[in-house]
Amino acid sequence: MKAILLDWDGVLCDSLSLYYQLYGEACRRWQKAFPIQTVEQFLDWYDPRWEENYYEMGFTPEEFGEVQVWADQWLDYSRAPLFAGVAQNLREWSKQAPMAIVSTTSSLLIRKRLGAEPGLEECFQYFKGGEDGCSEKREKVAHTLRALGATAGVMVGDTPLDVDAGQHNGLRTVGVTYGWVSPQRVRAARPTRLVERPEDLYQAVLDCLK
């Protein structure tokens, strides 16, 4: 059976500005130097192994644990819109194959945001979030496939880490360049399909599902 696995931030949800503000506020509260000044710089600076971003900014392992708890309370996904067409895409894709979200964001936050849109949470059979506090995705994808009873399909993401996780588990991959990292970094991961605009994602996913 084939399945559709989707990253959340930068693929379905336009949350880049929200997290740019989160990193800046975390540095202010813990008195660290935020190394970037613009959202555009974030695209080249951001490491999908997001723990490393905090260590680079000077957070200690103890502070990293503290900031994770604080971040889950600070994040307000009502401030982060879904990309254009996402709601309709999810409803249509769910008719084609079982779907899951594989993300490093808390699944509770994701489900709360989806729950604000009628019927969207019900489009998914499984959620694998960041409750483990880890950015590693190969095992997250493998776990999700087992949970769905799927052996093939497509993984959609906006970072090289997403593409690698899908490829490692034998999936076709769709890399989107409108998310959290620069287009050059997504292209370098060599996904099966490259999508530069949210409006082109629908067909790319179906093509990779064939």
| Domain coordinates in residue numbering, the chain | 2-14+81-209, 16-78
Closest to 163 in 3D by CA, of 19, 53, 7, 50: 7
Mean pLDDT of 62-80: 94
Residues 100, 126: contact at Cβ < 8 Å? yes
Residue 132 above 80 pLDDT?
Answer: no
Q: Is the pLDDT of residue 135 over 90?
A: no
In which element (H, E) is residue 152 found? strand 152-157
The half-sphere exposure of 179 on its side-chain side, counting CA atoms within 13 A, is 30
| CATH match of 2-14+81-209 with 1.10.2020.10 | no
pTM: 0.94
Q: How far apart are the first and last CA of the chain?
A: 12
pLDDT over threshold 80, residue 97: yes
Per-residue confidence (pLDDT) for residue 11, from 0 to 100: 98
Distance of CA 15 to the CA centre of its chain: 10
